[in-house]
């Protein structure tokens, strides 16, 4: 019984030393951007395309079954592109970004979005809490859901 107690730690130690050295291991992973970096780059790419009113590029980030949710309700992919014509997005910033990796093919980003712009001449909410759900389909990450909740106004003391 004492021998078995020594064998298990020895095997675990050997596996810990040998496993990272296998082909396609840590060295290959270091060359690829992390999932968070990749999804944040996609998120910013979609925002930049929207800001520049580049519907083709913007739509490339969205799945065909995409849904957008905000104070105005639920919209589909086509409505998001149509809203682009009536939106003037001057600037935006994504802060406090967090990633939940739901599965190997589903990543959920949450962040604080600060933005300045107008929609049909009215100011858009300057600060919102946003969530985007990205799904890997084939070899491409696509947004299937984007949701924004206006932040509460800060109170002065």
- Placement of tokens 């003391």 in the chain: 157
**Domains in the chain: boundaries:** 1-30, 33-150
Question: How many angstroms separate the first and last alpha carbons of the chain?
Answer: 68
Least confident piece of the model among 22-31, 53-62, 67-76, 143-152: 22-31
Global pTM reads: 0.77
Q: Which CATH class, in words, describes the domain spanning 33-150?
A: alpha beta
Q: Strand 62-70 vs strand 140-150: parallel, antiparallel, or unpaired?
A: parallel
Q: Which of 130, 127, 131 is nearest to 151 (CA)?
A: 127
pLDDT at 29 over 90: no
pLDDT band at 97, cuts 50/70/90? very high
Q: Which helix (H) or strand (E) holds 138?
A: none
């Amino acid at each position: 019984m004492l021998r078995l107690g020594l064998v298990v730690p020895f095997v675990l130690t050997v596996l810990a030393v040998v496993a990272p050295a296998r082909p396609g291991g840590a060295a290959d992973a270091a060359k690829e951007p992390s999932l968070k970096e990749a999804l944040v780059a996609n998120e910013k790419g979609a925002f930049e395309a929207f800001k520049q009113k580049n519907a083709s590029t913007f739509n490339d980030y969205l799945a065909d079954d995409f849904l957008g949710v905000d104070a105005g309700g639920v919209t589909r992919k086509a409505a998001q592109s149509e809203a682009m014509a009536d939106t003037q997005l001057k600037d935006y910033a994504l802060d406090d970004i967090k990633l939940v990796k739901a599965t190997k093919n589903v990543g959920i980003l949450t962040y604080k979005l600060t933005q300045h712009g107008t929609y049909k001449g009215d100011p858009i909410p300057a600060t919102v809490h946003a969530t985007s759900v990205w799904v890997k389909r084939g070899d491409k990450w696509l947004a299937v859901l984007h949701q924004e909740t206006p932040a509460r106004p800060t109170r002065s003391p």
